[in-house]
A and B are shown apart, each in its own frame.
Chain A
């Protein structure tokens, strides 16, 4: 199931946690005055990158939890006071811990998280390289000088198959009658 139980989740999880809050609102609309557009963008960026500690898996800007509104207010205050993003992150970290960071810090325990995808990519390239190399050593159907085709198969003990030029023509004709793409001249396979 995908997106569809967000609201239920928010209210339900709070009930399950036995945590209460005086306000529960629907859409999160804060009205703050910023001195510059840049400040406003930072505010949105930061409230999107911190996770609400109360209700589950929502960022500060979309969470209806009361503490999310409080934290947005604090972020606003710190931006207006001229604090840097690092200082604001430190503020959040020292109170709620790593949980509130949607962008996990790079530590010895998160190395695998951050570099895992690169490892996957390298492993994939290595495997792909081997596949291509193995494949190059495998024999392909070869076109003989007389126009016949030899299909060689090294993986099974099947005798090589030879189609003479005449047979090939006949096959092509058959295929044409059935509007079939041929292997060598395949429609999608160009």
Chain B
């Protein structure tokens, strides 16, 4: 027994080492959203398209849609724009933009130059609505179902791989859930 006790340090060490080895492949930087399966928070915000008129969740599509957080200062947003443009062309799903902590003119310029995949661009210039969404930087992408409930969130840039492997299956799942 007392001999076995001496092996305790090495056992503890190897348990820790296994956790550390697993830890190397854990992503500890992307926060899981606490808003999954909760309704999209309420808002009263302007949009790029409709002047000073204040919009709310009632003005959003009543089918599943994507809510993309973007800004003209955001280089990765430039990378994912072609994917959203393609999705728009193929009419896969409506995409709503949340122009996050940006200036209106810069945002309009950016859309003009790079193409506008968004049906509507809600303006969150103060970043206050972003906080309600648990956003901590652009780009972030939410998938909202027909009842206005958040079903999926992706943090960071979306490339073709992620679109195919994560976003499309999530859209399919939301549609299937909505039908049943």
Contacts and interface: CB of A to CB of B under 8 A. Distances in A.
Q: Do chains A and B touch in the complex (CB under 8 A)?
A: yes
Interface of A: 13-14, 16-22, 52-54, 56, 65-67, 70-71, 74, 93-97, 99
Interface string B79-101: 00000000000000000000001
Contacts of B74: 20
Nearest to B137: A19
Contacts of A56: 29
Interface of B: 29-35, 71, 73-77, 101-102, 126-128, 130-139, 155-157
Given A54-B137, A70-B131, 4 more contacts: A18-B139, A21-B101, A95-B132, A97-B31
B71 A22 contact: yes
B136 A20 contact: no
A190 B71 CA distance: 71
A95 B41 CA distance: 10
4 shortest interchain CB distances as A-B pairs: A19-B137, A20-B74, A54-B136, A18-B76
Contacts of A97: 31-34, 134
Nearest to B28: A56
B89 to A, nearest CB: 24
A179 B54 CA distance: 91
22 contacts: A13-B29, A17-B155, A18-B76, A19-B76, A19-B137, A19-B138, A20-B75, A20-B139, A21-B73, A22-B101, A52-B136, A53-B31, A54-B137, A70-B126, A70-B128, A74-B131, A93-B34, A95-B34, A95-B131, A95-B134, A96-B34, A97-B134
A65 B102 CA distance: 15
Contacts of A96: 31, 34, 134, 136
Contacts of A70: 126-128, 130-131
B128 to A, nearest CB: 7
Nearest to A95: B134
A67 B69 CA distance: 13
A99 B132 CA distance: 16
Contacts of B30: 17
Contacts of A74: 128, 131
A96 B140 CA distance: 14
A67 B130 contact: yes
Contacts of B35: 95
A14 B5 CA distance: 46
A21 B139 CA distance: 10
B34 A19 contact: no
Contacts of B33: 97
Nearest to B156: A18
A17 B33 CA distance: 16
Contact of B137 (A65, A94, A95): A65
A133 B107 CA distance: 76
Nearest to A68: B136
A186 to B, nearest CB: 31
Contacts of B31: 53, 96-97, 99
Given A71-B131, A74-B131, A20 B138 contact: yes
